[in-house]
Structure 1
Amino acid sequence: MPEPGLSPLQSSLPTAATHFGAHVLARAAAPAVTAVTPAGTAAAPAVTAAPATDTTALLTAAARAVAAAVGAAPAVVPTGPAGAADAEAPDAVVAPPAPDLGRLLRGPTGLGTAGLSLARRAAVPEPTAPPVPAAPVEGHPIPGLYFHPVPEPDPVRVDEVSRRIKAWALDEVQLYPDDWEGEFDGFSVGRYMVACHPDAPTVEHLMVATRLMVAENAVDDCYCEDHGGSPIGLGGRLLLAHTALDPLHTTKEYHPGWAESLHADAPRRAYRSAMEYFTERATPSQADRFRHDMARLHLGYLAEAAWSETDHVPEVWEYLAMRQFNNFRPCPTITDTVGGYELPADLHAQPAVQRVLALAGNATTIVNDLYSYTKELATPGKHLNLPVVIAEREGVSDREGYLKAVEVHNDLMRDFEAEAAALAAACPVPSVLRFLRGVAVWVDGNHYWHQTNTYRYSLPDFW
């Protein structure tokens, strides 16, 4: 497959930068980690935005301001596509480096560009990522799947995040009874989040993502899936749970009843607590962005529940539409909050950024369909996933449906990488480049967790 070409500059991106002017520059240039004085007070360096006479000057000023204040941790970046795998006996498609995309996400090089480097963090040194392992350390990747290996996550951070999240789940929100402890430990959420967010400046930044991940899974398990979930009445349960993220504004008479309801069950307790921690570190625009993506997620839950109630097997394109909402998108969308910086709201809202996020969410969610295939087949009733829908709707065998789903994932991954490269070229603002890199690393970390979580997942015997 040829290297993806770079699209021409999209007019909406420089226009957005121009409209925001000094405001965008000041927000984009906020330090990744605020220095703390001995007295415990935050000391944020002042940022002065020089007036720009045109779009190019503005973007250049933004790049210099952000690069001076914000560094990015070394991270695995998406690489170019390998050749197509043999459908009969494929090997795991571990992609070789693609210089163009890697160069774009690393930033400019050469004489006079040192000030634009995103490879350093001035405030807090980042741990150096170990080399990418030559072979997986645990589990088996799906043959033929297009993915990128990642370094083993820092074991010290993994242990600390695992300890803290279990204490939160048990002591703060009473998330699960004693007989669920094995499943909670087997989820390996600490390893998951450290692999997905290697640029998090502190463990507490990692905990922001970890609490939200655990809370989202509690809602899915308890309202929709394994632990008492049901499609009947799901809309009402999800609506009330969503008010733990997007609070109710009502009269004094009725406010206490709502506030008390936030402690009524484990999912709502988890949502309320995780969101409180998140908003302590997120900006208002980052929090509102997350609420929007969670509403998308809940809409996807409802569509799947409606199909379950009517025994409807959707067309493949309908299933993929549902999965664009019922997917992992809320996780990579907060990569800047977890990294300690902000992608300005007007840039995050751009259609090109939204397309990259949608493709990332879609690809990572199909990874879940593929790795959880045998787990879901073992549950009662029909569980919709992409291989099942393809097999039924296109009249092929289970094996052919599964292999076709692998191809769908690979197409989504390559589209994600091509769109990320085009966006990086069209809008080379350092906060955009860092956000794209963060999303790419989340995609890779998500695959790593699915591949290595042999407690939860095993592969079908199709090869």
Structure 2
Amino acid sequence: MPEPGPSPRQSSLPAAAVHFGTHGHGRGIEAFGGGRPALPSAPAPSARPLPSAPAPFSAPTLPPLPVPAEVAVPTTVPVAAPEPTPALRRILRGPSGLGTAGLYPTRGEEASASSESAPAGHPIPGLLHHPVPEPDPVRVEEVGRRIKAWAVDEVELFPADWEDQFDGFSLGRYMVACHPDAPTVDHVMIATRLMAAENALDDCYCEDHGGSPVGLGGRLLLAHTALDPLHTTPEYQPAWAESLHCDAPRRGYRSAMEYFVREASPSQADRYRHDMARLHLGYLAEAAWAQTDYVPEVWEYLAMRQFNNFRPCPTITDTVGGYELPADLHAQPALQRVIALAGNATTIVNDLYSYTKELAAPGLHLNLPVVIAERENLSARDAYLKAVEVHNDLMHSFEGAAADLAAQLPDPSLLRFLRGVAAWVDGNHYWHQTNTYRYSLPDFW
């Protein structure tokens, strides 16, 4: 399969975008969250019905994208799913013509027919999501083989007694589902190594395997230098370089970042470093609350989750796709809002699917249902169902903001990037729903 050509490094920002969000169509950046397209979802429990959505959002048809026709994505059948809204369908509509039919298989109407069975697991009733086809099993197997070889042989990411947990995480299935337009397995591996390394850090520094809020700031700072290297004097450089091999999180970060920067432009690499700093800041806020036994207000928790979330994953969708979204387009406040909403919605998906797993762990583990129950004096069931509503509101805002941005600034690389972020959102839900090794739903229905 041919590798994609080099990405353009110059800006492709249209001249009209100089005044974007100030004059255009009489609408400012604040208008980008207003639309809430009507997406049907499964009926919610009678005790707390989900709110109905207003009339569908309208956006013009987008032009075809200049993407490689050689990208191979297997044809499979989607599970039964709600129809996407017209606005989101317009965003996600891919190129047409010979060789392009399978490029965007992550939506119900785009996927062709030949799958054997529905995915494992059950989606959360009433949760707004878009089912995806089963990812290519050949690519899944190859990514799974390569990521385990990297984790075991290259960086010693986990001890032998963690092997079952590593296998149960199903990283290959996760990343192939989230990046359906990755040109090659090598491109999928860029995201897979970064995901594996970040999860190792979370486990070892914060969570299940010896993590603690005590001293977390120092550990995170030193690990972050594996992503954002220290520039110091010759006397102290060797000690820092040696420290990058001293524990699994730093070994993983260092190696995954080395692979990443080989494919990423300097701008893409700096973007990722910035988003990882956001993530680490979120870790520190949660750790501070744990040390003081503080249960945040719901809005405070959501603020923390905007930082401690999946944002670094969809923000590299262009690198994994083999192209580059120019930095000036990525920096547009409207796109930053779309990316933030995508990260927020996907992270609440994690809160909801991991709810029973976290309740079974020792101590109080903050997640959105727990915080809502505590702060709004609701039963566990009603708090969980309200958290589903919060997720759905975030999804409506994400889809409306993406449709609005695509309509106002239809740059081809931006449209492809929006499709990539939407595919990541869908793939993330797919992985949570189907990972029955890790997750099970509460008995609230």
User: TM-score of the superposition, structure 2-length normalised?
Assistant: 0.82
Does the aligned pair in 1 maintain the 2:168–2:437 contact within 8 Å? yes
Which residue in 1 is equivalent to 2:294? 312
How far residue 336 of structure 1 moved from its aligned partner, in angstroms, is: 0.2
The structure 1 residue matched to 2:85, chosen from 98, 112, 115, is: 98
Contact conserved, 2:178 with 2:423, CA < 8 A, in 1? yes
Indicate whether 1:449 and 2:431 are aligned: yes
2-structure distance, mates of 1:47, 1:247: 23
Deviation at 1:290, TM superposition (A): 0.2
Write out aligned runs for 1:204-353 (5 A).
204-353=186-335
CA distance, structure 2, for counterparts of residue 312 and residue 55 of structure 1: 47
Equivalent position of 1:74 in the other structure: none
Contact kept? 2:42, 2:125, Cα under 8 Å: no
Could you tell me which amino acid in structure 2 is paired with residue 450 of structure 1? H
1:232 counterpart letter in structure 2: V
| 2:129 is aligned with 1:142 | no
In structure 1, what is the equivalent of residue 372 of structure 2?
390
Q: Give CA-to-partner distance per residue, 1:402-441, whole Å, 9 cap, x none.
A: 0000000000001000000000001000100000000000
Alignment of 1:354-369 (within 5 A): 354-369=336-351
Letter in 2 for 1:85: P
Counterpart of 2:112 in structure 1 is 131
Alignment counterpart, residue 184 of structure 1, candidates 166, 169, 176: 166
Residues in 2 aligned to 1:309 and 1:48: alpha-carbon distance in whole angstroms: 47
* Alignment pair present for 1:410 and 2:392: yes
Q: Are the counterparts in 2 of residues 85 and 93 from structure 1 also a CA contact under 8 Å?
A: no
Identical-pair percentage: 73
**Per-residue deviation at 1:86?**
3.3
Post-superposition offset of 1:87: 3.1
2-side partners of 1:168 and 1:428: how far apart? 39
**Against the structure 1 CA distance between its residues 143 and 232, is the aligned structure 2 distance closer, same or farther, given a 3 Å change threshold?**
same
Give how far 1:55 is off.
3.7
RMSD: 2.9
Please say if 1:173 is aligned against 2:155: yes
1:102 Cα deviation after fit: 1.6
Task: Report the Cα offset of residue 82 of structure 1.
Answer: 1.4
**SS of corresponding position for 1:314:** coil
Residue 46 to residue 142, structure 1, CA distance change in 2 (3 Å): closer
Structure 1, unaligned runs of 5 or more: 1-31, 36-43, 60-77, 108-117
Name the CA distance, whole Å, in 2 between partners of 1:426 and 1:49: 18
CA contact (8 A) 1:79 1:148 kept: no
- Distance in 2 separating the partners of 1:227 and 1:47: 42
Counterpart residue number, 2:178: 196
Distance 1:357 1:237 in 2: 27
Deviation by residue 1:149-191 (Cα, 9 ceiling, x = unmatched)? 0010000000000000000000000011110000000000000
Q: Any conservation in 2 of the 1:290–1:330 contact (CA below 8 Å)?
A: yes
SS of equivalent residue, structure 2 residue 254: helix
Number of residue pairs aligned between Structure 1 and Structure 2: 392
Deviation at 1:202, TM superposition (A): 0.4
Q: Which runs of 5+ in 2 are unaligned?
A: 21-35, 51-78, 106-110
By how many angstroms is 1:46 displaced?
9.6
**Displacement of 1:49:** 11
Aligned AA for 1:88? S
Aligned to 2:402: 420
Name the CA distance, whole Å, in 2 between partners of 1:299 and 1:200: 30
Supply the distance in 1 between the matched residues of 2:242 and 2:9 (Cα, whole angstroms).
43
